[in-house]
Each structure stands twice: as C-alpha cells, then as structure tokens.
Chains A and B, each alone.
Chain A
C-alpha cells in the first residue's frame, strides 16, 4: 500500500518543478494543520507515556522493567515476532508471486481471503482458534489426549498473531509486483534463467523495499497485537502474557508508572524497528 508512495514521490519531486501554483499562505496553513494534528495525535501521547513512566523516578522505572513478569513478557513478545514475521514474509512473497505473475481462476477470491484478517475484528481472530483448538473445539479432545497445548500456550499466541499480521507483506507486494509486470522475468527466462534464479536475481531485487516495508509493518503489529492474543493467552503471569497484555494488567492494578514504563519499552521496540528501516533506506540512497 503505502510503501510504494514515498519512493515515487521522492523521485518525482527530485526531477519535476513545483506541482502547485497556490499562494504561500495556503501552503503554510496546510503544513501548520498537519503539524498540529501530528502534535496532538502522536507527539503528545508519546510524551505523556514517557513522563508518566518516569513520574515516580528512575528506580521505579528500572524495577518495572526488571520485574520477572515483565522480562518474560518481553521474551515472549520477541519470540512471537521472530516466528511470525519470517513466516508471514514467506507466505506473503509466495502469495504475491502467485497472484501477480500467474493467471489462474479464483484469483479474486484469493485476494479477498488475504484481506480477511484486516476486515475481521482481532477478537474474532482469537476466538476462531479457541473454537478450533479449545477443549470443546474440533481438535480439543484429540489434542488433550496427546497432551498438546495450543490455546492458552505459546503456539496459540503465535497462531493468533500470524492470523492478524498475515496481510501486511502480501498487501504491500501485490500492487508493487502488479506494476512491474512480468517482462523482466520473461526476459530472464528467455536468456535461460530458471525459477529460483529468476526469483533471487530479478524479482527479489525489484521488490526488496516494498518487502522490507511490509515486514516492518508486520513486525510492529506482531509486537503490539492485543485483542486476538488476549483471547488465546489465558493471562498466566510470567508465562503467556505478552508486553501489551502486561501493560494492561499493570494499569488495572494501580501500578500506573510501571504500566507506562513497560509501554515505553514497547515504544522503544517500535522506534528501533523504524530506525532500522530509515537506516536501510539511507543506505540504499547513498
């Protein structure tokens, strides 16, 4: 979606003359409006998170992060992201590749299916797994006989996160690959390249920035998902609580500073993700 927009706009603004002829005050008014909106909707809330986190001092802040339950939540969140992002990257590339480079029946249905997790509320995303793998679900009795735990354990949390983050990579790649068409691949095939070779030498280099952007969005959502994970987590402290769940628990237990401290940790993870992205873009540009 958005991934392709910044790149094209950078290219055009570098080459073309100003696209508008409006008066200067219109320009400044628009910039001010956008700036104010950003300030109110993004900058201020972020500042509040940080000031609230440090309200009771550095000691409380460090203690909140060093708490074993917080550390276990951090570990679980990282594990979930580390598993879901690569898996959804592979799924996403495969789906986008199939949809854009081949002709087959039911393509429209497949695209709709990929979009489904965007359209469905995350709570439903969690509930479907409870209905399938829960003790009273389809596979419940079999799983319990074989002593396999999915719901209220790490596999369930990963499944729910996979579900809600599924569309990010595919949705990012499909418009991009559609734009690029199949000519380059066809040329490569004419020159004698085979499947995997075509993919790594031609397709992948063409889509790498869109792919990266999709992975970053996917990662951000995987680490931040609340609803679906809450349904399948079981809320066992130090075991199946992810960072977002831990933030809510602390808030409900009157530990406001600790809750914001953990929230600031999530924020930090998001910032690191964005920094990696900026660094990669910068490296590409130079």
Chain B
C-alpha cells in the first residue's frame, strides 16, 4: 500500500509540475510570439545596417514591403522581388525585404480593406483596386499614377485543351457546340473569370454587329456548358488539369502557359481564339499604409521598376505580356499576335461593367442558373 501511495504521489507531482512547465512555456511563447518579430527585426536591422553602412556609406534602415497580389503571380513576384531588392540596394544602399500574400483577387482586396497592411496591391482587375480606393485607403486617380493605366504587364484569355485538341475547339463559337464542357471559375468571386466572361461577350458582340441581346444569348448558352464553377482561377485550373473534368479551360494566357510548363507539353495544347480581351491587371500604392509606415518612396519605386527593362523581362519570362517596346520585340515569338479589344472599347469603366454584369441581379445572375 505504502508503495502504491508513493507512486501515486509521484504521478500527481509530475502532473502538476508538467502543468506548471506548460504554463511557463506558454507565457514564454506568448512573449516570444508578439515580441520575436520586433527583436528579430532589430537584431537583423543592426547587422544589416552595419553591412550597408560598410558598403554604401549610408545609414538607411532596412525596410519591409508587403505586396498583396492575386493567385497566379507568385512565380512572377518571387523573381521580381529579388531583382528589385538588388536594384534598390545598389541605387540607395538600403536593404528591402518584400513579403508576398496571394489569393483570389476579390478576397485579397477585401483583406486590405479589413486591415491587411499592404504597401502595394497588384490585383487581377481595376475593380478590386477601386473597391479599396472607395474605402479611402488609396487616393483617387490611381489609374494615372503609372503608365498604361497603371498596368505594367498585360495578359489575355485563351483556351487550354487536351493534347491534340480532340473536340476540335478553334474559336469561341466551338465552345457551345454539342457536348463540349467548359471550365471557368465563378465571375462573382474570381477576377480571371470576369475577364473570361467579358472576352466571350466581346466576341459575341463582334460576331453579331453589336447586338446586345444576341451576345447575352451566346454567353447564356456558354454557361450552360459549364459543369462546375470554382471560386478562383487556380481552383479551375486544378479541376481541369488534375481532376480531368471538362474539355476546355478558359484561362489567363500566363496561367495556361504555366500549366503547360509545369505539367508537360505532352498533355495540353493552348488554343488562341480569333479575338480576345486585353486583360489588364493593375498595380497601386496603398497611400494610407505607406504614409503611416513611411514607405512611400520605396513602394513607388517598387511598382515603377516593373516598367524597366529588367522588370519587363521578368514579366515576359513568367508569361505576362510586356508593355515596353524593346522587351515586346524580344519576346514577340512567345506571345501570339491575336486581335485584342480592351475593356474601355467595349464595356467602358469597371464600375459600369460591374454594375451591369456582375452585381446582384445583374446579367450574370439572370443567365446563370446552377445545374441547368
């Protein structure tokens, strides 16, 4: 009996010591959790500060930027961030670290509005930046702060089909033939999907001498061929290339090219339709955040450098269409020359487009009934 009691006591004592230990660990972690960021930064800061002082003789403090972007730009910005950090260090003698955040364009815009402290936003379409501007975080007139409507690179909407194009899909008209299944994400939630929808609409207008009713009929027919609407562009790509659902994926040109590169040219073909939309994913500095954090200069330089020869080359290497003539010339074989119309030409501003097509009760809501 005595023996058993002894052991029980040990277990008991062990348990209470364990609990106490856990609590101390938690408190320590708490302290670390909230404090580690700053201590890391300080420690890194002094070390880096010293090294830059030694190199450039300037005492500029290291700076951190947060770039909140949409889904497919990860590879692009991973490369570009390195290039910009090197350029900035050479130019100003200041270390810059760029953090990235990616997600659906609309969701990312929402996060910035809810307090995600982005110094710059690089989103899929102007409407998502307009939404941030309306909340007062970005000053009016952001479209004209950088060249080409603040769009350093562009893309377009193309078709991705299975190798050999078994359903013989050549143009938009083929998408609504017979039992062809089309994969596109939901225009309500995905930026890329809005470009898909608008590209189809623009084609139908052209085909029918700008007859809106006929365009609507075509797009309605097109969405009858869509078996599943994913919420984002990456989700739709995965549905098509991984799960093998559908005959054709409507996708960003850069997304289609990346799929072919990642998954092998022996599996998929890219089909260029006769006409498509010039998709312009714009960039903007978040004025309220950079003024608060004192990062305006480097944030503006970060976006401006996207237009430089090096920035444009990185964009082209990552399958985005460059806007700088010299780089365009260099990569002209990579990007097929097809007839492209702009949002402005056919639809007007994003506000008008959003209101007419994608708002609650808008045209998309009228033509799309799930499961029909």
Residues of A whose CB lies within 8 Å of any CB of B are 79, 82-83, 85-87, 89-90, 130, 133-137, 140, 144, 149, 151-152, 154-155, 158, 200-201, 204-205, 208, 234-239, 249, 252-254, 284
Shortest Cβ gap from B260 to chain A (Å): 11
Contact of A79 among B8, B32, B103, B234 (CB under 8 A): B32
Looking at chain B's contact residues, the main secondary structure is helix
B15: chain A residues at CB < 8 Å are 204-205, 208
- A205 with B115: in contact, given A236-B99, A254-B263 (CB under 8 Å)? no
A79-B32, A252-B71 are known contacts; what are 6 more A-B pairs with Cβ within 8 Å? Answer: A83-B30, A86-B25, A135-B115, A204-B12, A204-B16, A236-B66
Contact of A284 among B11, B113, B235, B238 (CB under 8 A): B11
* A92 to B192 alpha-carbon distance, docked (Å): 46
- A158 with B11: in contact, given A83-B26, A152-B116 (CB under 8 Å)? no
* CB atoms of A130 and B30 under 8 A apart: no
A236: chain B residues at CB < 8 Å are 66, 99-101, 116
Q: Is B56 an interface residue (CB 8 A)?
A: no
Looking at chain A's contact residues, the main secondary structure is helix
Cross-chain pairs A/B with CB under 8 angstroms, 9 sampled: A82-B26, A83-B33, A149-B117, A204-B16, A236-B99, A237-B99, A238-B99, A252-B71, A254-B259
* A254 to B258 alpha-carbon distance, docked (Å): 10
Shortest Cβ gap from B122 to chain A (Å): 14
Q: Is B34 an interface residue (CB 8 A)?
A: yes
* CB atoms of B234 and A252 under 8 A apart: yes
* CB atoms of B111 and A152 under 8 A apart: yes
Q: Is B22 an interface residue (CB 8 A)?
A: yes
B25: chain A residues at CB < 8 Å are 82, 86
B235: chain A residues at CB < 8 Å are 252
Q: Is B60 an interface residue (CB 8 A)?
A: no
* CB atoms of B12 and A85 under 8 A apart: no
Q: Is B23 an interface residue (CB 8 A)?
A: yes
Shortest Cβ gap from A120 to chain B (Å): 20
A237: chain B residues at CB < 8 Å are 99-102
Q: Is B301 an interface residue (CB 8 A)?
A: no
* CB atoms of A152 and B117 under 8 A apart: yes
